[in-house]
Amino acid sequence: MGRIILFNKPFGVLSQFTDRGTPEARATLSDFINVPQVYPAGRLDRDSEGLLILTDDGALQARIASPRHKTPKTYRVQVEGEADAESIGRLRAGVVLNDGPTRPAEARRIEPPRLWPRDPPVRFRKSVADSWLEIIITEGRNRQVRRMTAAVGYPTLRLVRVRIGAWELGDLVPGEWREVE
């Protein structure tokens, strides 16, 4: 097996090493990781945070990123509103999105997790409650978790990936990485 790096991707960072063709430079992996020949295994949207695996092993990259391998990915998701049992049941059954139905997800309501402060902070509205979910998916479509929670009536406010397969984020702080031995 090749090199495996676990990285806590901060909010606002692209899951790539370069950002060409945009008028303003945006933060990329190269702002945090200076390890040659490693590439992200999958991606995490710019406005999502948490675990990103980088590797120089193409087969491992494919195993993590390809939906056919069904690698579970675990997210802590802050949603707008008080998520109810019916909506969580819909996530568990699979949700129909504009690009077709999702696989059933593992989903449950959780207490607010202990996380680092986000910069910028999540918008707060006194008149609208929020709640936290743990969602485990085995796919990885573009913005899938966000689209799933919106489809059941609870837009995502904050999304943090904490696990991919057997690898966990652990105590890595945003912008920090470690190599798995």
Which residue(s) pair with 156 in the sheet?
A: 79
Cβ contact 56:3 at 8 Å: yes
* Known catalytic residue at 45: yes
Catalytic residue among 19, 45, 47, 84: 45
Closest of 46, 88, 77 to residue 158, by C-alpha: 77
Which residue(s) pair with 11 in the sheet?
A: none
Looking at residue 24, what DSSP letter applies?
A: S
CA distance 57 to 28: 21
Looking at residue 23, what DSSP letter applies?
A: S
Residues classed as catalytic: 45
